[in-house]
């Protein structure tokens, strides 16, 4: 589904990603772990199409197409979804309006009619119930004044409404208490399917107790320095990121 080849990215002359290689097959769950500042969010943003980065080398293929050539919205339409580490507050735009505009944008791209208003509402309300979100959030401005946990849940709500093929979750676990973490994890697990892949970007392994990854990659200094199975996350948890540095040095 996704193939990242030798991706080099710099910002203001400073190289942040220094040759990332990653291959993600349909239905797989990958965890990308790494210390703060290792470039995890940068990688997520690059895949979602954020501007302001210099891609100096490499390419990214999504279902065989050049992802980097596509605009932000084209990527969304093609099935890329990024759950932001810091979801953006959008005063004046209600949650329901954004969800509807987003879903209709997606449907338009696929040549489908606009979603039926009644069906839409009941579908969204059902998903909110799963995420234990109060219906009043529908009419509140997107993320405005939401707590950290509410924002993260809202990201998962958008993801479940839009049903993307590739879900990138940037530190969705950070700032969540254990109850909220379980709810979010359940929301993600509900979306798992043979056609849908996940990239869980995280600093800690605790999210992976609830969402079982098939592969774990360690990102450090702008490179994937180690890849392995779920056991790699446990090793990291035990030894800390310094352990990676030591291993690299030797």
Partner 1 sequence: MSVLHLPNAHYKSLVSAHEDVLLGDQISWLNGLRKKAADQFSEIGFPSFREEEWRYTNVTPIEKNKFTVPRESGSVDEAFINSVLLEGCYHLVFVDGHFQPTYSTPVNDLPSGILVSALSQAITENEALVKSLLDSVVETPALGFVSLNTALFSDGAIISIEENTAVEKPIQVAFISSKAGALTLSNTRNLIFAQAASTAHIIETYHGVEDECYLTNAITEVVVESNATLSHDRLQAESSKAYHIGGVYSRLDDKGVFKQSNYTFGASTSRCESHAILGEASDCTLNGLYVGEDRQHMDHHTRLNHAQPHATSHEYYKGILNDRSQGVFQGRIIVAQDAQKTDSKMNNRNLLLSDRAEVDTKPQLEIYADDVKCAHGVTVGQLDETAVFYLRSRGADEQMAKNMLTFAFANEMVERIEFKPLRLAVLDELLERFPQTGMKKEWL
Ligand X SMILES: Nc1ncnc2c1ncn2[C@@H]1O[C@H](COP(=O)(O)OP(=O)(O)O)[C@@H](O)[C@H]1O
Residues that bind ligand X (CB under 6 A): 11-12, 16, 34, 36-42, 52
CB of 40 to Mg ion, least distance (A): 5
φ, ψ dihedrals at 172, nearest 5°:
-65, -25
The kind and range of the H/E element at 194 are none
- Closer CB to Mg ion, residue 41 or residue 158? 41
Q: For residue 12, count other CB atoms closer than 10 A to its CB.
A: 8
Q: How many helices (H) and strands (E) does the chain have?
A: 8, 12
- DSSP state for residue 116 in the 8-state scheme: P
φ, ψ dihedrals at 103, nearest 5°:
-65, -40
Find, among 248, 246, 249, 240, the residue nearest to 36 by Cα: 240
- Closer CB to ligand X, residue 36 or residue 250? 36
CB of 100 to partner 1, least distance (A): 7
- Closer CB to partner 1, residue 109 or residue 243? 109
CB of 53 to ligand X, least distance (A): 7
Contact region with Mg ion (CB under 5 A), list: 10-18, 22-30, 78-86, 158-166: 78-86
Distance between CA atoms of residues 87 and 153, nearest Å: 10
Looking at 4, 20, 41, 75, which residue binds Mg ion (CB under 5 A)?
41
According to DSSP H, which parts of the chain are helical? 40-48, 72-78, 95-109, 117-130, 148-162, 178-191, 230-239, 241-249
CB of 229 to Mg ion, least distance (A): 24
Asked if residues 2 and 55 have their Cβ atoms less than 8 Å apart, the reply is no
CB of 90 to partner 1, least distance (A): 5
Interaction partner, residue 37 (ligand X, Mg ion, partner 1, none; CB < 5-8 Å by kind): ligand X
Asked if residues 90 and 101 have their Cβ atoms less than 8 Å apart, the reply is no
- Closer CB to Mg ion, residue 41 or residue 160? 41
Interaction partner, residue 220 (ligand X, partner 1, Mg ion, none; CB < 5-8 Å by kind): none
- Closer CB to ligand X, residue 34 or residue 115? 34
Using DSSP's 3-state secondary structure scheme, residue 166 falls into strand
Q: Give me the residues that bind partner 1 (CB under 8 A), please.
A: 48-51, 71-73, 75-77, 81-82, 84, 87-88, 90-94, 96-98, 100-106, 109, 141, 158, 162
CB of 35 to ligand X, least distance (A): 7
Query: Can you tell me which residue has the tokens 């700032």?
Result: 175
Residues in the site for Mg ion, rule: CB under 5 A? 40-41, 85
């Amino acid at each position: 589904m996704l193939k990242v080849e030798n991706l080099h990215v710099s910002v203001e002359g400073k190289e942040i990603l220094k040759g990332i290689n990653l291959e993600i097959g349909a239905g797989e769950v990958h965890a990308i772990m790494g210390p703060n500042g290792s470039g995890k969010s940068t990688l997520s943003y690059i895949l979602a199409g954020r501007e302001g980065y210099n891609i100096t080398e490499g390419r990214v293929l999504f279902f065989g197409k050049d992802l980097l050539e596509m605009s932000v919205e084209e990527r969304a339409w093609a099935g890329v979804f990024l759950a932001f580490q810091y979801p953006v507050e959008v005063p004046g735009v209600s949650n329901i309006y954004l969800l509807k505009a987003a879903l209709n944008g997606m449907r338009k791209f696929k040549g489908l009619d606009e979603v039926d208003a009644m069906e839409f509402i009941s579908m969204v309300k059902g998903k909110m119930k799963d995420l234990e979100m109060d219906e009043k959030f529908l009419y509140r401005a997107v993320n405005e004044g939401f707590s950290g946990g509410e924002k993260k849940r809202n990201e998962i709500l958008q993801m479940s409404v839009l049903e993307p093929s590739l879900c990138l979750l940037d530190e969705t676990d950070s700032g969540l208490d254990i109850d909220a973490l379980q709810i979010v994890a359940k929301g993600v697990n509900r979306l798992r399917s043979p056609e849908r892949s996940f990239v869980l970007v995280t600093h800690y392994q605790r999210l992976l107790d609830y969402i079982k990854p098939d592969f774990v990659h360690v990102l450090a200094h702008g490179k994937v320095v180690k890849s392995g199975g779920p056991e790699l996350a446990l090793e990291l948890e035990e030894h800390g990121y310094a352990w990676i540095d030591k291993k690299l040095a030797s």
